[in-house]
Amino acid sequence: MIYETVIGLEVHLQLNTKTKAFCGCSTDFGKPPNSNVCPVCLGFPGSLPVYNRQALNSAIKLALAFNCRIQEHTKFDRKNYFYPDLPKNYQISQYDLPLSRNGYLDIFTNGSPKRIGITRIHLEEDAGKLIHEDAVSLVDFNRTGIPLMEIVSEPDLSHPQEAFDYLTNLKNIIEYLDISDCDMEKGSLRCDANISLRPAGVKELGVKTELKNMNSFKGVKDALTFEVERQTKILEAKETMVQETRLWDVEQGITVTMRTKEGAKDYRYFPDPDLTVFVIGKELIEPVKATLPELPYDKMQRLMKTYALTEYDAKILVASKKDAEFAEVCMQEYPGKDKKEIANWLIGPLMAEANLRKEQLHTLKLDRKELINLIGFVQRQEISHLSAKTVLTQMLDTGKSAQALIKEGNLEQISNTDALAQVIETVINENAKSVGDFKAGKVNALMYLVGQVMKKSSGKANPKVVGDLIKQRLS
Amino acid sequence: MAIDKETIKHVAHLARIDLQPNELDKLSANLQDILGFIDKLSSLDVEKVSPTSHILPISNVLREDEPRTSLTPEKALENAPSKKGSFFSVPKVIE
Ligand SMILES: [Zn+2]
């Protein structure tokens, strides 16, 4: 039987505000344990939480970027449970009146666009960090109360790769919005997944598994891939699927069932009386809307249209907002009509240099004008493409100008007919056999002769001019 | 709504309260009374009243994103029943 995979993702995102959600404690990462804490985030009796304006603005920004309907009335609720990383014994979250619902995200997957529904985006707060020792667990509350957003997708994803692409697109947008570090290793972005299988064509959803403990996008994809196989085997063997939570074991590359205490979770949500309700009107939304940057999808379409780039090229450039901005300035400043000429340099050699140096395009120490100068030398056939790549590396290493480096390296390409004629003459005399082959119509022989001239000129001869000259000479 | 012993046990567990068997009967009756009292509210006509989630007529109370001085780890841990270095220490939990 053919099965259809149904995946929904829940993403938790730490906002990059300076202070926590409900108190003025710093959100700085890596501070000594329990140094970013106060009576509010430690849940001391009598303390009162007040929500962070910047967090609300970031949340509205996120909701708008994900095309969500922002609810006019929203409130905070208490989610009650006991766990040592939760000092108040409840997490401030949102239950029946979340900030926003019914959005969508257009992603690129498998070479084509797909629209993924967003069920809801709501506000909550982070819990503390536990370190387990042999006999005790140690608690650090520095992370407690950092503002979180929960982004719940519809079960619209139908392949592990699609889930991966969704996450990549989501991260890309959030980076454009500049509201979170999006660093899975630091825990500022976390993802849980729901996955079920059903016979193709059946409408009813199958029994789902909730997957946790993935700490990279690849981990999410791998865990889902494993789960597709595991569930397929169960269904094919006509065994019963159990609804459960499973943990991804990255070492072994498998999911394992998470032992849970008996009884369904009973969080007893109720409105938090310590916090007021929120009325989200135009006066809150409009100023945020005005600060929304051009988002990756729109930027990509515009770059393709304005600079005649291919989808492939534009997609590479918009993967980083600052790189895309850098590239656009380069293309604007480039005097040539065909902007693809400079785009090729940006996406090709320059991107390679950036990767090699563990940098990004925009962080490379490179004067845009010098890059344009360098491309000019190639366009005017004054240096070969190969030499230009060497010069580019040297420019990044030394900070010297293209012109100075070409001179230093004696790299000017020889296109001068007279200067080349003599070398060609020598090569023809020394390679009688190849000359004969060429005259007999063997194309490879010409390439060999050109190669010999290149060799004698230390790579500086213009191969096209050389080829033409040899043909002329031997015709 | 009938409050049986099982419900009381469940609620007690959620609140992490240990109840003695004799307390179960007493609390069942108490809670039954309390809920019965609250039930009276449903006789009111609230057709034209919008739901209230906060008793004060205020909304949108926000704070600027400006850091304030936090407690020192020493101060934060002052009343901790158990600590290790500048961590709170609790019986080992693994879910
Ligand atoms: Zn605090």
The mean pLDDT of B17-34, rounded to a whole number, is 88
- What's the Cα-to-Cα distance from A387 to each of A205, A367, A375, A406, A469, rounded to whole Å? 60, 19, 11, 8, 22
- Contact residues, A window 22-81, toward B, CB-based 8 Å cutoff: 23-26, 32-39, 42, 50-56, 75, 80
Judge residue B33's burial from the number of C-beta atoms within 10 Å of its C-beta, 0-12 exposed, 13-18 middle, 19 or more buried.
exposed
pTM, rounded to two decimals: 0.82
How much is the pLDDT for A264? 60
**CATH 1.10.10.410 domain range(s) in chain A:** 417-474
**Nearest partner of A226 among A1, A13, A2, A7, judged by Cα:** A7
Q: Which residues of B touch A133 (CB under 8 A)?
A: 92
Name the band, by pLDDT with cuts 50, 70 and 90, for residue A32: very high
Into which CATH architecture does domain A417-474 fall?
Orthogonal Bundle (1.10)
* Residue of A23, A266, A277 lying closest to B54 (CB–CB): A277
User: Could you give the CA distance from residue A62 to residue A121 in angstroms, rounded to a whole number?
Assistant: 8
Q: Which residues of A touch B95 (CB under 8 A)?
A: 83, 258, 260
Among positive and negative, which fits the CA dihedral A179, A185, A190, A194? Answer: positive
Into which CATH architecture does domain B5-42 fall?
Orthogonal Bundle (1.10)
Local structure of A93: helix, strand or coil: strand
Chain B contact for A209, CB < 8 A? no
**Nearest partner of B88 among A89, A132, A34, A125, judged by Cα:** A34
How much is the pLDDT for A69? 96
The residue behind tokens 């395009």 is A361
H helix intervals, A81-216: 160-177
Each residue's pLDDT tens digit, A369-388: 999 999 988 888 788 888 88
How much is the pLDDT for B11? 87
- Looking at the complex, report in whole angstroms how far the Cα of residue A59 sits from the nearest Cα belonging to chain B: 14
Quote helix, strand, coil % in chain A, to nearest 5. 40, 20, 35
How much is the pLDDT for B95? 56
User: Could you give the CA distance from residue A459 to residue A454 in angstroms, rounded to a whole number?
Assistant: 5
Residue of B17, B60, B75, B86 to mutate, interface with A, max A Cβ within 10 Å: B60
Each residue's pLDDT tens digit, A214-273: 999 999 999 999 999 999 999 999 998 888 999 999 999 999 998 665 556 789 999 999
So what's the ipTM on this one? Answer: 0.88
Q: Taking the CA atoms of chain B, what radius of gyration do you get in angstroms?
A: 22
Instruction: Locate the chain A residue with the closest alpha carbon to B93.
Output: A137
Residues with CB under 5 A from ligand 1 (ion): A 23, 25, 38, 40-41
Cβ distance of B14 and A258 shorter than 8 Å = no
* Residue of B65, B68, B73 lying closest to A53 (CB–CB): B65
